[in-house]
Amino acid sequence: QVQLVESGGGLVQPGGSLTLSCTTSGFSLDLYAIGWFRQAPGKEREGVSCLSGRFGTTQFADSVKGRVTISRDNAKNTVLLQMNNLKPEDTGVYYCAATVHLAKERMCSIDRTVYEYWGQGTQITVSS
């Protein structure tokens, strides 16, 4: 059974940093692409970053480029999203998601419609 559990959210001041964890089970990170998404109140869920399974390639939304890194620890079945220089507009519920449909692709995707498995989300609030 595929499961994803996010953790690491919280309240942080502008300019601060947070690391989100996506702990996975029921599948191999080498075969699934992992995406991070966020949803602010009243807005659609948007892609933040992704990491491909086989090739380890990454993508980032323009709004977070230069402030976010994504990595994985296969031994711990975990994908990390390190966020720096956080801004109030980064506030929202952050979700990780997984898809097997990109298993043979070099690139991952930050299109939410591609992903079939989702975690429950973790809240990030950036405020002074």
Task: Quote the CA–CA distance of 21 and 117 in Å, as a whole number.
Answer: 16
Convert the pLDDT of each residue in 15-59 to its tens digit: 999 999 999 999 999 999 999 999 999 999 999 999 999 899 999
pLDDT tens string 88-104: 999 999 999 999 988 77
Nearest one of 92, 125, 93, 95 to 110, comparing CA atoms: 95
Answer yes or no: is pLDDT of 105 > 90: no
